Structure 1
Amino acid sequence: MTEERRTLSDPRAMRALAHPARLAILNRLQEEGVATATDVAEVVGITPSAASYHLRMLAKYGFVEDAPPRGDGRERLWRRISKGWVVSPEADDQPEVREAKNALIKMIRDESGAEAARALDNYEREPPEWREASLFARSVLLIDAAEMKELVKRIDDLLAPYALNHRDRSEAPPGARIAEAHITLFPRAERRPHGLPSGS
Structure 2
Amino acid sequence: MTKERQPLSDPRAMRALAHPARLAILNKVQTDGTVTATEAAEVVGITPSAASYHLRMLAKYGFVEDAPPRGDGRERLWRGVRTSWTVSPEPDDQPEVRAAKDALIQMVRDEAAAEAGRALRNFDREPPEWREASTFVRSVLFLDAAEMKELTERIGELIDPYRLNGRDRSEAPPGARVAEAHITLFPRVERRTHAPSSDG
- Establish whether TM, by shorter chain, passes 0.5: yes
> 2:136 — aligned with what?
136
Q: Aligned-residue CA RMSD in angstroms?
A: 1.5
> 2:88 — aligned with what?
88
Deviation track 1:52-96 (CA, whole Å, cap 9, x = no partner) reads 110010001000000012234332110011421111111111111
Shift of 1:141: 0.8
> 1:2 — aligned with what?
2
Letter in 2 for 1:119: A
Shift of 1:199: 8.8
Partner secondary structure for residue 35 of structure 1: strand
Partner secondary structure for residue 9 of structure 1: coil
- Please state if 1:111 is matched with 2:111: yes
Letter in 2 for 1:124: D
| Structure 2: distance between partners of 1:46 and 1:196 | 44
> 1:184 — aligned with what?
184
- Please state if 1:123 is matched with 2:114: no
Q: Which moved more, 1:85-94 or 1:159-168?
A: 85-94
Partner secondary structure for residue 88 of structure 1: coil
> 2:145 — aligned with what?
145
> 2:172 — aligned with what?
172
| Structure 1: distance between partners of 2:38 and 2:130 | 32
| Structure 2: distance between partners of 1:199 and 1:67 | 62
Partner secondary structure for residue 23 of structure 2: helix
Deviation track 1:119-140 (CA, whole Å, cap 9, x = no partner) reads 1111111111111111101111
Shift of 1:198: 6.8
Whether contact under 8 Å (1:66, 1:79) holds in the other structure is yes
| Structure 1: distance between partners of 2:126 and 2:68 | 37
| TM, length-normalised to structure 2 | 0.95
| Structure 2: distance between partners of 1:136 and 1:72 | 44
Whether contact under 8 Å (1:82, 1:165) holds in the other structure is no
| TM, length-normalised to structure 1 | 0.95
Shift of 1:99: 0.6
Shift of 1:197: 8.0
Partner secondary structure for residue 65 of structure 1: strand
> 2:158 — aligned with what?
158
> 1:77 — aligned with what?
77
Unaligned runs of 5+ in 2: none
Whether contact under 8 Å (1:4, 1:83) holds in the other structure is no
Number of aligned residue pairs: give it.
200
| Structure 2: distance between partners of 1:146 and 1:104 | 26
Whether contact under 8 Å (1:3, 1:166) holds in the other structure is no
Sequence identity, in percent? 76
